[in-house]
Chains A and B, each alone.
Chain A
Amino acid sequence: MIEKDMNQVKADPKAHKGMENKKPLMRPNAAKKKAKKTAGTIIAYLALIILAVIWLYPIVWIILHSFREEYIDGFYRGIIVSNYFPNHYGLETYRRLFTEYQAGTYTFLFFDVQVGIFVKWFYNTLIVAIASFFISTVLQLSVAYVMSKIKFEKRKLFLNLAIILGLFPGFMSMIAVYFVLKALGLTQTLFALVLVYSAGAGLGFYIAKGFFDIIPNSLVEAAKIDGATNAQIFGKIILPISKPIIIYTALMTFIGPWMDFIFARVILGADKREIHTVAIGLFDMIYGEHADINNFTIFAAGSVMVAIPIVALFLSLQKYYVEGVTSGSVKG
């Protein structure tokens, strides 16, 4: 970008003081500069390649080992091994993940299917993610809009309160939340999990608020003069132009349930494995007290299955994600 500007400027002799009108032949300095630039570019590319390898190193490792199929004297070998590249590839691990690991008859909507428990975990997490992203997005955008565009009494108070509440460590209240749910009779249900994820969503409104702040107030005022109600302004004017932030918020709140392994476990309980989410399930495979390390490859396969939808979503919506992050941070 800067080079382009420079070229533009160079082409206009009047804009560039002190630059003599020379014939466009290769000046001695220009050649050196060009060589320097190409050298610089090559170094930059090299640096990027090295960094990219470093960044992808662990991820590729997990993916490779999820495709590992090794046996030792007839026994399936799923433990962590010390070589980076597996000695033998195969789909056995995925087969075990989908059909053998803790297999049982699980209910999906109205069907009872005999599958490995991972499929049920995936299904549970999907439901929770969809429900909570929907509710969370509505709540978060509502609060952000109110904080940004509606000047009401006690606005500063709410703003400060929200900041203060956000500073408490989250799992400090986890035990109490469990018992609040219990008093409501909701423990060990996925519905409770959705509630917990969505209820606090309203507090995370800053980035959305930053986005709404950029929308000029004149737009709102003009609409008011035309006689629109606040609700109409929000629904018909603001929301249609807020697509980036809506998608950003939806993306962030959709991904949350796939990654959280602390809260979900406390609320869902440890024994009813068929209502667990993938995060708890995968975590238990490796970190539980008597977890079987021979399940490492199955863990890797499960991780890959979880990663695919999330990464796909992320990549397709990356543009909105970047916009959301930048606009939010512009205002802070």
Chain B
Amino acid sequence: MNILQINITIAQMLDYTMPILFAALCGVLSESAGVVNIGLDGIMRFGAFFGLLGAFFSHSPWIGLLFGIAIGCLVGALHAFITIRWNGDQTVSGTAINVIAVGLMTYLLEYVFSTTGYSPQLQNYFGAQAYRVHLPFLAKIPLLGAFSNLSFMIWFGFICTVLMHVLLYHTVLGLRIRTCGENPRAATTLGINVFRIRWFAVIVGAALAGIGGATLSISSFSGFSDSMPNGVGFIGLAAMIFGKWTPFGALGAALLFGTGQIAQSIIAVTGIAPKLAPGLTLILPYVLTLAVLAGFVGKSIGPAADGLPYYKEQR
């Protein structure tokens, strides 16, 4: 395995990592404010389809990205409306979003493109050479060479992680968001509008999940397939927990799980453990997450008020 192969593998791994990372960041933001979003798999499906739709008809992936953000915000607003405005069960609402996403995207795929299974392929997508971020000075350095020719979305993922970290831990708004997740009653006594903060966190978070979906269809791949996102949202959920509800933790977990996703091809190339069953590498994220939650490996504890509807007048 030479340097070039390693570089290609790293780039490929990053391609798999980013959708997971965006989903995990969605979870981090929304759960920091105390709203569980199980529907992020469904939101990613919305984002993947609408991202493709925008990119396909405008011939520009940037419009696709905007479409992904917009649909993410819309579905996030629906989740917020159900769970924050009407105190609906957050898990039930998320399940509804997942189920609707399965049916509606297949319906729209058939309606818009008259195809089943796959959308037409895009010519202009973030993975295409013209839209990649070229950093020629890195190309000569071993390992860093992998970063010389990456899709814009990969850099955007890193930027979002840093921004999320700054937002959550170095701004007043971030402190308020975390207060709403830990102890909404205390937040209210300090004059914070818990509902408004939660609306903000859920919608911005869902926009990130929408970006994650769009990353799948207009960056990692050049089209929408009916099986998307194929559980990536749930891997994101696992990455969020494995990363202990922090942005950088989520990044690390997403990198690890992204590697797990392409472990099969690495195994094939390097010849390490050829007898290893493919299923065993695919379950890695979930097993690790359970181990962390159960305290077998470290301990991961979420925000205290995570998943609880907030009633202002209740004692």
Bound together: no
Which of A's residues lie within 8 Å of B, judged by CB?
A: none
Which of B's residues lie within 8 Å of A, judged by CB?
A: none
